[in-house]
Amino acid sequence: MQERTDDVHENGFSDHVLVCTNDRDSEYACCAEAHGSEVYEAVKSWLRDRGVFWSRVHVVETGCLGLCSAEGTAVAIHPRNRWYSDVVPADVPSLLENEFGPNATQLGGDTTTR
């Protein structure tokens, strides 16, 4: 095992967006059926348009984040410790603008005390 925290910070990484795309064969809601892939693509596009995708902000498809809903997917943003449910693709621009600013210049740091 190799601890790489310093490497990550030196490369400018500041934030992590987790988008649930979990699919399951069940009677219960899952993000794959609630726009998970579309939300994931919308997040990547918004960040890419602002030049921070994979340079400052990493985006990952995840399994279940525990906020299951048929109305939309679950998204978590770290290290901000922000959690969202019921996110649909149309929500992504306002969600990310609120978190990172219109031009994605408000990166890094803990904003849990807003």
- Name the residue with higher pLDDT: 80 or 26: 80
Give the whole-angstrom CA distance, residue 79 versus residue 28.
Answer: 29
pLDDT of residue 114: 43
Give the whole-angstrom CA distance, residue 34 versus residue 86.
Answer: 8
pLDDT digits (tens, 9 = 90+) for 58-109: 999 999 999 988 899 999 999 999 999 999 999 999 999 999 999 999 988 6
Q: Is residue 2 part of a domain?
A: no
Q: Is residue 52 part of a domain?
A: yes
Q: Is residue 109 part of a domain?
A: no
Give the whole-angstrom CA distance, residue 93 versus residue 97.
Answer: 6
Helices within 17-111 (DSSP H only)? 36-49, 92-100
Q: Is residue 42 part of a domain?
A: yes
Residue span of the structural domain in which 87 resides: 12-100
Q: Is residue 86 part of a domain?
A: yes
Q: Is residue 47 part of a domain?
A: yes
Task: State the CATH number of the domain containing residue 76.
Answer: 3.40.30.10
- Structural domain count, the chain: 1
Q: Is residue 35 part of a domain?
A: yes
Q: Is residue 110 part of a domain?
A: no
Averaged pLDDT for residues 24-51: 92
